[in-house]
Amino acid sequence: MTKFWNTSLSRVSKNKVLIRGYRVEDLMDRCSFGDMIYLSFTGELPAGNEGRILESIVVSSTEHSVMAPSINATRFVASGGVPLQASVAAGLIALGDHHGGAVENCARLLQSAVAAKRGASAIVAHYRESGTRIPGFGHPWHDRDPRTLKLAAQAEAWGLAGPHLELAREIAAELGRVLNIDGAIAGIVSDIGIGWEYGKAFFLISRTVGLAAHHVEETTRERPFRAIAPEDVAYDGPEERDLPAPKPPSPTGG
Amino acid sequence: MTKFWNTSLSRVSKNKVLIRGYRVEDLMDRCSFGDMIYLSFTGELPAGNEGRILESIVVSSTEHSVMAPSINATRFVASGGVPLQASVAAGLIALGDHHGGAVENCARLLQSAVAAKRGASAIVAHYRESGTRIPGFGHPWHDRDPRTLKLAAQAEAWGLAGPHLELAREIAAELGRVLNIDGAIAGIVSDIGIGWEYGKAFFLISRTVGLAAHHVEETTRERPFRAIAPEDVAYDGPEERDLPAPKPPSPTGG
Amino acid sequence: MTKFWNTSLSRVSKNKVLIRGYRVEDLMDRCSFGDMIYLSFTGELPAGNEGRILESIVVSSTEHSVMAPSINATRFVASGGVPLQASVAAGLIALGDHHGGAVENCARLLQSAVAAKRGASAIVAHYRESGTRIPGFGHPWHDRDPRTLKLAAQAEAWGLAGPHLELAREIAAELGRVLNIDGAIAGIVSDIGIGWEYGKAFFLISRTVGLAAHHVEETTRERPFRAIAPEDVAYDGPEERDLPAPKPPSPTGG
Amino acid sequence: MTKFWNTSLSRVSKNKVLIRGYRVEDLMDRCSFGDMIYLSFTGELPAGNEGRILESIVVSSTEHSVMAPSINATRFVASGGVPLQASVAAGLIALGDHHGGAVENCARLLQSAVAAKRGASAIVAHYRESGTRIPGFGHPWHDRDPRTLKLAAQAEAWGLAGPHLELAREIAAELGRVLNIDGAIAGIVSDIGIGWEYGKAFFLISRTVGLAAHHVEETTRERPFRAIAPEDVAYDGPEERDLPAPKPPSPTGG
C-alpha cells in the first residue's frame, strides 16, 4: 500500500525506534557510529571491518583549518548572528563538485568502470579527449596526504581493499597525479558496497564536527560582522557615472 | 591589479555606494526593481522595456500555494523554530532542476540553439533519442497557465519577443506540450540579453517574497514542530529484529 | 475546516493562481513588485505610495560589494561547485541579527514602543542599563549613508513618514549614532503597517539579486575552490604532539 | 600576532594535518568518532568514557522516520532536483529551538543553574511564572523513550553521570514530564564538560546520516517534484476579486 510517504529506513512508534529493523537501544549498546553509517546506507550491519573504516573516514575529515571554502562560509555566516545549525548548513552547502563532493563523482566513475570492466588507460584517455578533469585526483597542497595514506593502509590491513581502490590507484599512476582524499574515500566506500549516490555524505557527516567548532570559535572569539577590508577588493567595473536621461514614454508600452 | 577579491559589480566607499557605476540614491529615485535586476545581471540599464518585463516576471512567481516543494520546505523548517532568513533559505534550496531551476537549463538550450541556428525539430529529435526531458515544457496542473500567457503577451506588446521565445514556442508545438512558466521566462530573459547562468535567479528573487509570507504564517498561526502523522507513513523495510550475535575479534583487525 | 495545511496567502487551481484573492495576471498588468510585497505581507494592495517605498527599499540593498559576510559566504560556497540557488541560500542565511536582520529587531522595538507610547530617552536608558546595543543604529563605514538619506526623504515626500521613523530618529539623536539602513527600513515598514515579523524579508528579497550576480561572477571569472592562503591564518592552539599512551580498559566500561 | 583568521582548532601544512595538535593519521588509528567530537569541542582527548557516550549519542539520533520536520524538509528539497549536500543542509536548518536545538537551551539552563547552585524547584517556579516552556522535557509520542533510557543507563554505568543530569531528572520530576532525548543529551554533555554553545551540534552530526539516506531514498524511489494534493490544503483568505480601480496619480508622488 502506498501512502504520501514511503520509507524503508526506520519505523517509529510509541517508545520504539527501529532503524532498518533494529531497536535503537540495541544499536547504541553494540554499534559504532561507523556501523550506523553502514547500516543506514546499505540496510545491513557490517559483516567485517566496514564500520571500522567508515569510522576512520569520518575521523579523517572533520577539520582542515580555515583554508577551505566550507569553513570560510560557516565563519562568515556565523558572524552575521545566526544559530549554529544555520551556519553549519551554509558551510555544508559548499561541499559541491569541487570540494569534497568529488567523492560522489569519483565513486560513480569507479563503480561504472568496474562494472563495465573498463581500465585506467581507457578512462584517462576518455577524460583527456573531453578536456575535463577526473574527480578525485590531485591536491593543491599535499602530495603525500596523511589521510589518504592511512585510509589506504587500513583498507589493506582490514581486508577491505578491492577493485575500486585498485582502479583509483591505477588512474592516479596513469595521470601522474596523487590519489587525493576524495578519491581514496570514493574507492574504499565503493569496495565495501556503498552506492555512489551516498558519495558526498561521508564528508558532510565528518565536516559537521569541524564546522560546529568553527561556529563556536567565531562567535566566542571574534567580533560580529566579519568584514573584508576595502583594500583587499579590486574593482574593475565602470567608473562613477550619471544615470542616462529619462526615456520618453514608450508608445508601445501602454 | 589582482587582489583576493575582484569584482565589477559595485564599489563601496565612505558614504558612497556605486552599483555598476551608478550612485545607489539615483537608482532609488529613477529605477524600478526590474531595472535593477537588468542592471545587476547585464551591467547596463535597460534601453527599452526590459525592466518592465523583469518586474512582471518577479511579480508572477512570488507564490504558488503550499503545493510546491519549496514552500513545504520553508514551512517545515520554520516549524522547527528558526529565524526567517534560515527557513526562507531552506525553501530556496529546493529550486533545483525540477522546480523553477528549469529556467536555467531551458535558457541554456535556447541560447545555444539560437546561436547555432538549430531548430525545434532537431532539438526535439535529439532529446527524444537521448530519452531525457526538455526542461521548460509541460505542467502538472495548468494547460493554459495565466502567468505564461500574460508574460508572452507582454513581451509581444512591449517589443521584446525575439528568436528565443519563438523557438520555445516551436519546441512546445513540436512536443505537443505547453510552454510552462519556466520555459516562458527562459525565452524572454534570453531575448532581452541575459545569460543562461542567471536563469534560476528570477524565480529565487520572486519566491523569496512568498516564502517569507509562509514563514510568518506558519510561525504565527500554527503550533511548533509540524509533524507528519504516523498513519501517513508506509514502512516497507525489515521487520523488528535482534542484532546478530557479536563477531569474534577480527584476526586482521589489529 | 482544518486540514494539514491552512493558508490565506494564495489559492491555485487549474489555470488559475489567486494571490490574496487577486488573479496573478491582473497583478502582473497593474502592480509593481513593491505593490506585490505589500500585498503579500499585509493582505491588501497599497492605498497610497506604500508600494513605491517598498520598491525603493528593495532597489537600495541589492549589493554592497564583497565586504559583507553574506556576499563572502555566497562566493566561497559558489567556488565549491554548487548550483546558483544553493550558494545564494548560503549567503542569505548570513542575514542574521548582526547583518540586515537588525531590521526585525529594530522594527519590533519601534512597534512595541510606539504602541506603548514609550519615548526615545526611556528606550536608550533601558538599553544602556542592560549593556546591550540597540539594533538599527551606527554603521562601520557610512556616517551619511546615501540609502538611508534617500529613503527618509522619499518617505517624507510620499506622505509615508510616521511615528516609527520619527522615534527611530529620536533614538539616533539620543544615542549620538546615525540611523543606519536597517533602522531606516525598520521605521518605514513599521509606518506603512507591516509587522516586525517580516523585518528581515526586505533585505533578503533585495540581496538575492546581488548574491546571484556574485555567484555568476565567481563561477565565470575565478578558479574553483577559493582557498585562504596559509599565511593569512594565525594558529594559536597546541603544538604538534603525540597521542597519550593508550588507556587500560576501563573496569566500569563493560 | 593577529591575522584575518585566527584559530586554535587545527593547523594544516604540506602533508600534515594537526587537529588540536595531534596528527590526523594518529587519530585515525586510535580514536573513535566520539573521541574526535570530544577533542574538537574541548581541545583534549577524553580521560575516561566521554568518547564512548558521545559515540552512543550520535548513534542514537540518526533517524526518526519521516515524521520530523527536518526529514520532511530534506525530502521536499531533494525532490526539487538538487545535490545531496544541499538537501541535507536544508533539513539541518530545521534543527531549531523546537527541534533538537533544545539541547542548546537546556544545556545552557543546566550549566548556569549548576554553577549558581540553583535547584529544580526554583527553576520550575521561574519558568511557570514567565509562562514559557523549559526546553528538554516532554515528548509528543514517547513516555519512555528508549534512547533517553539507554543514554542515562550508559552515563551511570560508565561513571559519567553528574550534577547536570541529576538536575535534569529533578526538573522532570518537578514538572511531571519526561526528560526527553534533548534534555538527556543536554545533561550528559554538560556533565562531561562540553559548553552549551555546542548543544545543537550532536543532533546535527547524527542526523546528517539519516538525512543523507532520506535524500537517496527520495531521489531513487520517488518521482521528482513532490507536490501536496490540492485537497490537503484549506484556503481561508479572500475570495477571488477584481483589482481596485486604478488610483489617480498621486500629487505628492512626483
Burial of B190 (C-beta count, 10 Å sphere; 0-12/13-18/19+)? buried
Task: DSSP for A110-123, please give it.
Answer: HHHHHHTT--HHHH
Q: Chain C residue with minimal CA distance to B26?
A: C150
Q: Which residues contact D176 (CB under 8 A, 6 or more apart)?
A: none
- Residue D133, all three cell numbers: 516552556
CA angle (A70, A74, A76) in 5-degree steps: 115
Q: Are the beta carbons of C59 and B33 separated by less than 8 Å?
A: yes
Could you tell me if residue D41 is inside a domain?
Answer: no
For residue C25, how many other CB atoms are within 10 A of its CB?
A: 22
The alpha carbon of residue A62 and the mean position of all alpha carbons in its chain are separated, in whole angstroms, by 11
Edge-to-edge strand ranges of the sheet holding D10-13: D10-13, D16-19, D22-23
Confidence at residue D253, expressed as pLDDT on a 0 to 100 scale: 44
Residue A23 lies in a domain: no
Q: Average pLDDT for residues B158-178, to the nearest whole number?
A: 97
The span from the CA of D246 to the CA of B248, in Å, is: 82
Question: Is the pLDDT assigned to residue A100 strictly greater than 80?
Answer: yes
Which among C4, C26, C83 has the least Cβ separation from residue D232? Answer: C4
Burial of D69 by CB count in 10 Å (0-12 exposed, 13-18 middle, 19+ buried)? buried
Chain centre distance of CA B171: 21
Between CA C214 and CA C79 the distance in angstroms is 11
Give the pLDDT of residue D139.
84
Beta carbons within 8 Å of C109's beta carbon, 6+ residues apart: C123, C134, C135, C136, C186
Which residues contact residue A201 at a Cβ distance below 8 angstroms, ignoring those fewer than 6 apart? A37, A41, D84, D88, D208, D209, D212
What average pLDDT does this structure show over B196-220? 98
Judge contact between D77 and B90, C-beta under 8 A: yes
Q: What pLDDT score does C142 carry?
A: 85
Q: What is the mean pLDDT of chain D?
A: 94
C-alpha cell at A93: 552547502
Question: In the structure grid, which three cell numbers stand for residue D162, read together?
Answer: 553528574
B45 and A243: CB-CB below 8 Å?
yes
- In whole angstroms, give the CA distance from residue A111 to residue A187: 9
Give CA–CA dist C72/C79, Å, rounded. Answer: 11
Q: Chain D residue with minimal CA distance to B139?
A: D225
In one-letter notation, the amino acid at residue A167 is: L
pLDDT tens string C173-227 = 999 999 999 999 999 999 999 999 999 999 999 999 999 999 999 999 999 999 9
Among B99, B106, B211, the strongest candidate for a mutation testing the D interface, having the largest count of D CBs within 10 A, is B99
Q: Inspect the interface and report whether the beta carbons of C96 and A76 lie closer than 8 Å.
A: no
Among residues A195, A179, C85, B80, the alpha carbon closest in space to that of D85 is found at C85
CA distance D76 to D226: 6
Segment C86-143, tens digit of pLDDT: 999 999 999 999 988 889 999 999 999 999 999 999 999 999 999 988 999 988 788 8
- Which pLDDT score, from 0 to 100, does residue B139 have? 84
| Neighbouring-strand partners of residue B7 | A235
A26 in a structural domain: no
Q: Considering the domain boundaries, does residue A171 fall inside one?
A: yes
- D251: its cell numbers: 500629487
For residue B38, which residues of chain C lie inside 8 Å, CB to CB? none
The pTM of this model reads: 0.96
At D233, the pLDDT band (50, 70, 90 cuts) reads very high
| Residue B130 forms part of a structural domain | yes
Number of domains in chain D: 1
Lowest model confidence (mean pLDDT) among B150-154, B246-250, D3-7:
B246-250
Contact predicate D225/B70, CB 8 Å: no
The DSSP secondary-structure symbol of A186 reads: H
Could you tell me the three cell numbers for C68?
A: 559583507
For residue B114, pLDDT over 80 is answered with: yes
| Yes or no, beta carbons of A230 and C90 under 8 Å apart | no
Please give the residue range of the domain that contains residue C93: 65-221
Q: Give the Cβ contact number of residue C126 at 10 Å.
A: 14
Helix, coil or strand: residue B234 = strand
Q: Are B5 and A232 in contact (CB under 8 A)?
A: yes
* Residue D17 reports pLDDT greater than 60: yes
Mutate to test the interface with C, among A5, A76, A97 (most CBs of C within 10 A): A76
Helix ranges (H only) for chain D are: 24-30, 33-42, 50-60, 69-78, 84-93, 102-115, 120-130, 146-157, 163-175, 181-191, 201-221
CA distance B78 to B66: 14
Residues B40, C209: C-beta atoms closer than 8 Å: yes
Show residues of chain D in contact with B77, CB under 8 Å.
69-70, 73, 90, 93-94, 96
Query: Measured between CA atoms, how close is D102 to chain B, in angstroms?
Result: 10
Cα separation, B86 vs D89, in Å, equals 11
Cα–Cα distance between B168 and B108 in angstroms, integer? 12
Q: What pLDDT digit, counting tens, does each position of A19-71 carry?
A: 999 999 999 999 999 999 999 999 999 999 999 999 999 999 999 888 899 99
B52-106 tens-digit pLDDT: 999 999 999 999 889 899 999 999 999 999 999 999 999 999 999 998 888 999 9
Compare all CA atoms of chain D with the CA of B232 and give the residue at the minimum distance: D67
- Residues of B in Cβ contact (< 8 Å) with C195: 216
Q: How far apart are CA D78 and CA D82, in angstroms?
A: 6
State yes or no: pLDDT of A114 exceeds 80.
yes
Which cell numbers hold the place of B197?
A: 547562468
What pLDDT does residue A254 have? 40
d(CA C70, nearest CA chain A) in Å: 7
Which among C58, C108, C68, C109 has a CA at the least distance from the CA of C92?
Answer: C68
Question: Cell triple for residue B190?
Answer: 534570453
Q: What is the mean pLDDT of residues C52-69?
A: 95
- Output the pLDDT for position C141: 80
Closest CB to D49 among C31, C159, C253: C253
Neighbours of chain B (3+ CB pairs under 8 A): A, C, D
Give a yes or no: residue C129 inside a domain. Answer: yes
C-alpha cell at C30: 497593474
φ and ψ at residue A128, rounded to 5 degrees: -60, -40
Assess whether pLDDT exceeds 80 at residue B251: no
Question: Quick one: three-class SS letters along chain C?
Answer: CCCCEEECCEEEECCEEEECCEEHHHHHHHCCHHHHHHHHHHCCCCCCCHHHHHHHHHHHCCCCHHHCHHHHHHHHHHCCCCCHHHHHHHHHHCCCCCCCCHHHHHHHHHHHHHHCCCCHHHHHHHHHHHCCCCCCECCCCCCCCHHHHHHHHHHHHCCCCCHHHHHHHHHHHHHCCCECHHHHHHHHHHHCCCCHHHCCHHHHHHHHHHHHHHHHHHHHHCCCCCCCCHHHEEECCCCCECCCCCCCCCCCCC
Quick check: A92 and D215 in contact, CB under 8 A? no
CB contacts of D179 in chain A (<8 Å) are none
ipTM of model? 0.95
Give the tens place of pLDDT for each residue, D95-127.
999 988 889 999 999 999 999 999 999 999 999
Give domain status of residue C96, yes or no: yes
Residue C216 half-sphere exposure toward CB, CA atoms < 13 A = 20
What gap in Å lies between CA B120 and CA B109, rounded to an integer? 11
For the stretch A207-235, pLDDT in tens is: 999 999 999 999 999 999 999 988 899 99
Q: Is the distance from CB of B103 to CB of B185 less than 8 angstroms?
A: yes
DSSP string, D160-195: ---HHHHHHHHHHHHHTS-B-HHHHHHHHHHHTT--
Surface-to-core class of residue B116, CB atoms within 10 Å of its CB (0-12 exposed, 13-18 middle, 19+ buried): exposed
- CA distance to A19, A32, B245, D61, D227, per residue, from B241 (Å): 10, 18, 12, 19, 34
Closest CA to C77 of B96, A93, B93, D86: A93
- The answer as to whether C32 is a domain residue is no
Give the residue from D235, D236, D240, D241 with the most C CB atoms within 10 Å of its CB, the best one to mutate: D235
**CA dist B171 to A94, B121, B126, C7, C219, Å?**
36, 7, 12, 37, 30
Element holding D49 (H helix, E strand): none
For helices C33-42 and C201-221, give the axis angle rounded to 10 degrees: 130
CA of C175, closest CA in chain D: separation in Å? 30
Shortest distance, CA B95 to any CA of chain D (angstroms): 6
DSSP codes of every residue in B24-60: HHHHHHH--HHHHHHHHHHSS--SSSHHHHHHHHHHH
Angle at A84 between CA A82 and CA A87, to 5 degrees: 65
H helix or E strand, kind and range, residue B103 = helix B102-115
A126-148: average pLDDT: 91
C-alpha cell, A145: 596526504
| pLDDT bucket at D254, cuts 50 / 70 / 90 | very low
Is the separation of the CB atoms in C173 and C137 below 8 Å?
A: no
Instruction: Give which of C141, A89, A44 is closest to B90, Cα–Cα.
Output: A89
D80, D95, D230 member nearest B67 (Cβ): D230
CB contact under 8 A, D232 and C52: no
Q: Kindly state the helix (H) or strand (E) to which residue B2 belongs, with its residue range.
A: none
D59 and A149: CB-CB below 8 Å?
Answer: no
The grid cell for C210 is 546581488
- Helix D201-221, helix A84-93: angle, nearest 10: 50
Average pLDDT, rounded, for chain B: 94
